[in-house]
Amino acid sequence: MTWFMVAVVVVAAAAGLLRWRRPAWYWLSIGVTFATVRVMVRYASVMDACGLTVPPARWRLTLARMAGREVPGPRPPRILRLSPTRTGLVLRLKLRPGQDAFDVAATTDRLRHSFGLYGVTSREIRSGVVEVRMTGYDVLKRVQMPARLDTRPMRIPVALREDGSVHYRDYRAVPHGLTLGATESGKSVYQRNLVAGLAPHHVALVGIDCKQGVELFPLARRFSALADNPDIALELLEALVTHMEEVYQLIRAEQRISVAVPDAKIAADVWDLPEDIRPVPVVVLVDEVAELALYATKDEEKRRDRIITALVRLAQLGRAAGIYLEICGQRFGSELGKGITMLRAQLTGRTAHRVNDETSANMAFGDIAPDAVLAAVQIPAETRGLAIAGDSTGGWHRIRAPHISLREAVNICNKHAHRTPDVPALAAFRPAIEAVPSARDRLSKTAPATA
């Protein structure tokens, strides 16, 4: 299979030679072919130089001595599979006795230099088997998502990882997420990718955008509910809590009939309910969460407390009711007041774009992956959209979402507007789609004369 794939790449490269103007895929296939050949030719010597070999087994030495043959040399991990990809190569290695996955992880930088590649990463697949992903160029410089994506309900391909694989936002595995980043770091583009990815799915989108709705209101056709100021946001969040309680009642009602039946599956969340009565899942997108948490007066403080309480309740109980939170902000720490760290603890998926100080990076990763903090601080200001994505397992990746303009996102939302579900509990917050008067008209209007 591997040789077949290499042959396909070589034939594709040769076919490209016949063309005068060579397309990008031609240069990619040439690069991948060279990288494959280079890795295969140098494999044993590079592994030996990087300390990834073990001495030959005793029985081999004895056999060689008895047969009067040359003494066998040290042995590198056995290649189980070599697959050329669009961005480089993937090697699956069977470790030799005495080696572990950490040995390979610790030498990835040496392997990168020795094979002359752009990036090398490794991960353990199962006991004794390690996958080494090699990229021939900086895949995050100009992000191009692969044509074939593994899209499933509530699992959205949202960005590319530095090893060339796709980064998915999987709401069923990681229900709630927090996206941090300084101003102009790429949070809105990341959120736009999420909305565009969710638009074709059977899901209700709820938006809270206290920047007067500039980010989410253009996408209104695909939203079931929108709020553009903290007062409406409070009503919307409390309506969502009521909706959540109704969904729990529905799950309870379904459980009652099956408790006595030994083999029947008992519903524990919305996904266990029969499809015909299952409530539509809801993704709540909050842009600039600090706008909900800051206050200047006593009344605003009361409102803020109710908003944070509703958000904490949704984060604690929402998953089973099919309500998922996606919170965005520049900072998200205890300086935003009571309840914020409690809310943050429930947001398992963490994404940090460029941040201006270590404290902001700590808000995203300090409690889950301390080495990701350093990676987040090191994101250069000129590569907007570059981010570190981690979760509570402590693993993290450098990712970048493909650039999507607001116009493209609006077009996708308009195309899928017919999929916007009606959620009765949120009907009062359904955005009215009407022509907005031009800002120029409004600003140039003379103020009415007052007595």
Ligand X SMILES: Nc1ncnc2c1ncn2[C@@H]1O[C@H](COP(=O)(O)OP(=O)(O)OP(=O)(O)O)[C@@H](O)[C@H]1O
Q: Which residues of this chain interact with ligand X, rule CB under 6 A?
A: 181, 183-189, 384-385, 400-401, 403
Nearest to 24, CA basis, from 280, 32, 1 = 32
Residue 187 marked ligand-binding: yes
Residue 83 marked ligand-binding: no
Residue 394 marked ligand-binding: no
- Given a contact cutoff of 8 angstroms between Cβ atoms, the answer to whether 282 and 206 are in contact is yes
CB of 288 to ligand X, least distance (A): 7
Helix 358-365 and helix 370-377, axial crossing angle in degrees, nearest 10? 140
CB of 389 to ligand X, least distance (A): 13
Nearest to 287, CA basis, from 191, 197, 170, 156 = 191
The H or E element spanning position 129 is strand 129-135
Nearest to 82, CA basis, from 98, 94, 65 = 94
CB closest to ligand X, residue no: 385
For the stretch 6-9, contacts whose Cβ atoms lie closer than 8 Å and that sit 24 or more positions apart, written own/partner, are 6/33, 6/36, 6/84, 9/33, 9/36, 9/84
Give 221 or 384: the residue with its C-beta nearer to ligand X: 384
- Residues 6 or more apart in contact with residue 273 via CB below 8 angstroms: 250, 251, 254, 267, 279
Q: DSSP secondary-structure letter at 163?
A: T
Torsion of CA 359, 381, 88, 174, to 10 degrees: 40
CB of 149 to ligand X, least distance (A): 17
CB of 407 to ligand X, least distance (A): 12
Give 313 or 403: the residue with its C-beta nearer to ligand X: 403
Residue type, 208: I
Does residue 145 come out as left (phi exceeding 0), alpha (psi in the -120 to 50 range) or beta? Answer: beta
Distance CA 47, CA 78 (A): 11
Q: Residue 199, SS3? A: coil
Tokens of 380: 């250069």
Between strands 129-135 and 88-94, the pairing is antiparallel
Residue 291 marked ligand-binding: no
CB of 268 to ligand X, least distance (A): 37
CB of 328 to ligand X, least distance (A): 8
The strand pairing partners of 124, in sequence order, are 130
Residue 182 marked ligand-binding: yes
CB of 214 to ligand X, least distance (A): 9
Residue 186 marked ligand-binding: yes
CB of 331 to ligand X, least distance (A): 11
Distance CA 295, CA 2 (A): 61
Give 189 or 284: the residue with its C-beta nearer to ligand X: 189
Residue 379 CB: number of other CB atoms within 10 A? 24
Give 122 or 185: the residue with its C-beta nearer to ligand X: 185
Give 329 or 431: the residue with its C-beta nearer to ligand X: 329
- Annotated binding-site residues read 181-188
Binding-site residues for ATP: 181-188
